[in-house]
Structure 1
Amino acid sequence: MKKISVMLVDDHAVVRMGFKLLLQGSDDIEVLGEAQSGEDALKQLQTLAPDVLIMDISMPGMGGLEAIGRVLAKYPQQRILVLSAHEDIMHARRVLKAGASGYVTKRSAADVLMQAVRAVYKGQVYLEPEVAQAMAVEQVSGSKNPLDALSEKEFKVFLELAKGRSVQEIADAMSLSPRTIGTHLYNIKQKLNASNSAELAIIAIRAGLIKP
């Protein structure tokens, strides 16, 4: 029987090791390789060609959301399952919009991760049950989140600002100029009707993106 081949993408070696051991405990899944960043994953994809790419989204460099876009631009048929520490529905919505096929959190039980890999491999969309329920409730209530108006880069800058990082620190981390980050900051404040970083932090806390 052909096993489902996967590649793990996470910047923490210990995390990769843990999930590798977990996945290889199944009869129908094998881990072909590992990558520590989106850039690293792109380099290895052509050689490894895994059935499913299991990717974190909070990584240095281009980050997971941008990596999803770049992977699918180059390999449109690639199945991507996001395995994230973020338990809010905002991140889940964004990865699905970017083209990923599934979203599970790192606190998921082993059987949930296995189900997700198998579902994504078959071409299905898989959401961790708790996340799927929260998204359904939001859809039924008809509530719109102003954060949805942010572009991917603006969303990334917004999160860093909400965590208390300075414009210079964010510029260094994202390999952009402080002026570019300043432009993003201006647009973020306009879209979210916020006047300072403290208000941005409050918005992030209310959305469940960061802990108070």
Structure 2
Amino acid sequence: MKRNILIVDDHLVVRTGVAIILKNEIEGIEISEAKSYHEALSMISNTLFDLVILDINLPDGKNTEMIAEIRSIQSNLKILMFSAHEEEYHILRFLQSGANGYLNKLCDEEIIVEAVKSILEKGEYISNDLKMKLTEVERNIELINPFYKISNREMEIVKLLVMGLGNLEISNALEIQMSTVSTYKNRVFDKLKINNLVQLIEKYNQYYS
């Protein structure tokens, strides 16, 4: 079965190099390339892909919002973030927002192949070394601010709840189903280890007032 992979990077040398490595080492794949986030969205809207290798620092990129936007077009598309920088705090935000893995552009060829194979077969890839670093970062940040574990979308819900909006009003404001609002709300309560809206407001004011 052929697997379609989209490489999104604004540098031609990077796109070409990764494409050559993958074509030489992985059978049954079709490689497409996009030089910008805008071009990538257009291609994803018209072609089914199994994996997108997405540069974190695209000039027209939208940070972690890219993940939700891509998934709104193809919900099952795997996303491997690609960057020359290994700042654990930044990487963690992308993974919490739904990315399936992270790959450093400066890694060896065999790591690139391993990462792509892992995501295609298992649905995720994070090196053991990075996983240990991220665990430590997450532990330390959680002690400082428990809202760090809340995703960007969940944080939107939190702010609207704190403003006094109900589920129906949030549903209309964000153009999502009421059941979806409830799902996000329950996730937030679980992550923050709280049981009701009063506790949410108290905790939010504790860290953001």
Alignment TM class, shorter chain as reference: 0.5 to 0.7
Q: Do the aligned residues in 2 keep the contact of 1:55 with 1:64 (CA within 8 Å)? A: no
Q: Do the aligned residues in 1 keep the contact of 2:89 with 2:137 (CA within 8 Å)? A: no
Match of 2:72 in 1: 73
Taking the aligned partners of 2:10 and 2:63, their CA distance within structure 1 comes to: 11
Taking the aligned partners of 1:25 and 1:135, their CA distance within structure 2 comes to: 32
Match of 1:85 in 2: 84
Match of 1:50 in 2: 49
Match of 1:183 in 2: none
Equivalent pairs counted in the alignment come to 151
SS in 1 for 2:113: helix
What aligned pairs does 1:1-212 form with structure 2 within 5 A after superposition?
A: 2-28=1-27, 30-139=29-138, 142-144=139-141, 148=148
Name the aligned partner's letter for residue 55 of structure 1: L
Q: Offset at 1:50?
A: 1.7
Residues 97 and 150 of structure 1, relative CA distance in 2, 3 Å threshold? closer
Name the aligned partner's letter for residue 7 of structure 2: L
Taking the aligned partners of 2:133 and 2:52, their CA distance within structure 1 comes to: 25
SS in 2 for 1:90: helix
Taking the aligned partners of 2:8 and 2:148, their CA distance within structure 1 comes to: 26
The percent of aligned pairs where both chains have the same amino acid is 26
Q: Offset at 1:90?
A: 1.3
Q: Do the aligned residues in 2 keep the contact of 1:4 with 1:28 (CA within 8 Å)? A: no
Residues 29 and 16 of structure 1, relative CA distance in 2, 3 Å threshold? farther
Gapped runs of 5+ residues in structure 1?
153-190, 193-212
Taking the aligned partners of 1:59 and 1:34, their CA distance within structure 2 comes to: 14
Residues 150 and 137 of structure 1, relative CA distance in 2, 3 Å threshold? closer
Gapped runs of 5+ residues in structure 2?
153-206
Residues 25 and 33 of structure 1, relative CA distance in 2, 3 Å threshold? same
Runs of 4+ more than 3 Å apart: 145-152
Residues 1-34 of structure 1, C-alpha deviations (whole Å, 9 max, x = no match): x243211000111111111111111132534311
TM-score (norm 2): 0.63
Residues 72 and 123 of structure 1, relative CA distance in 2, 3 Å threshold? farther
Name the aligned partner's letter for residue 18 of structure 1: G
Structure number, greater radius of gyration: 2
Taking the aligned partners of 1:143 and 1:27, their CA distance within structure 2 comes to: 39
Match of 1:195 in 2: none
Taking the aligned partners of 2:53 and 2:62, their CA distance within structure 1 comes to: 14
Taking the aligned partners of 2:74 and 2:66, their CA distance within structure 1 comes to: 12
TM-score (norm 1): 0.62
Match of 2:157 in 1: none
Residues 61 and 150 of structure 1, relative CA distance in 2, 3 Å threshold? farther
Residues 69 and 104 of structure 1, relative CA distance in 2, 3 Å threshold? same
Taking the aligned partners of 1:106 and 1:129, their CA distance within structure 2 comes to: 17
Match of 1:182 in 2: none
Residues 151 and 135 of structure 1, relative CA distance in 2, 3 Å threshold? closer
Q: Do the aligned residues in 2 keep the contact of 1:8 with 1:31 (CA within 8 Å)? A: no
Residues 42-101 of structure 1, C-alpha deviations (whole Å, 9 max, x = no match): 100133312111110101113352222200122111111111112121122111122110
Residues 46 and 150 of structure 1, relative CA distance in 2, 3 Å threshold? closer
Q: CA-atom RMSD, angstroms? A: 2.6
